[in-house]
Amino acid sequence: MSVTMDSSTLPSTTTSRPLGMRKNGKQWHQPRKAFRPTAGHTSYAKRTEEWKAQAAMKAKEKEMKDEKEAERQRRIQAIRDKREAKAEKERYEKLAETMHRKRLERMKRREKRNKLLKS
């Protein structure tokens, strides 16, 4: 008499079977999993790829930040130059009220020469 067993009639071992009482008496805690120290480790090749990707991302971020800072510095310098030019123009207008036009032009040329020598 040969008995053939279907896989449907076999008790499945993958279903969760009820565990008995815990030995330490703390039944309200969740059952713990087995300690596997190598579970979180990745291969060296995978880690190096991640490092390269992070380095590339950091380089891109740094480039973008530098670009933004350069633009900011350019705007600040433009504002400074504009203010300087305005102050100088006002100063010359004030001098022009009291001085002769030709004398003022000579003074401007002299000041430009001195600026070029200093810088």
| Per-residue pLDDT reduced to its tens digit, 69-82 | 999 999 999 999 99
Domain assignment present for 28: no
Enter the tokens of residue 19.
């565990």
Crossing angle of helices 101-118 and 44-98, rounded to 10°: 150
Q: Which domain holds residue 99?
A: 45-118
Enter the tokens of residue 97.
């009220």
Q: Is the pTM of this model over 0.85?
A: no
Cβ contacts of 34 within 8 Å, gap of 6 or more:
none
Domain assignment present for 69: yes
Domain assignment present for 60: yes
Give the number of domains in the chain: 1
Mean pLDDT of 49-70: 98
| Per-residue pLDDT reduced to its tens digit, 76-116 | 999 999 999 999 899 888 888 887 878 888 888 888 888 77
Domain assignment present for 53: yes
Please, which pLDDT band fits residue 51 given cuts at 50, 70 and 90? very high
- Spatial separation of the C-alpha atoms in residues 45 and 107, rounded to whole Å: 72
Cβ contacts of 95 within 8 Å, gap of 6 or more:
104, 107
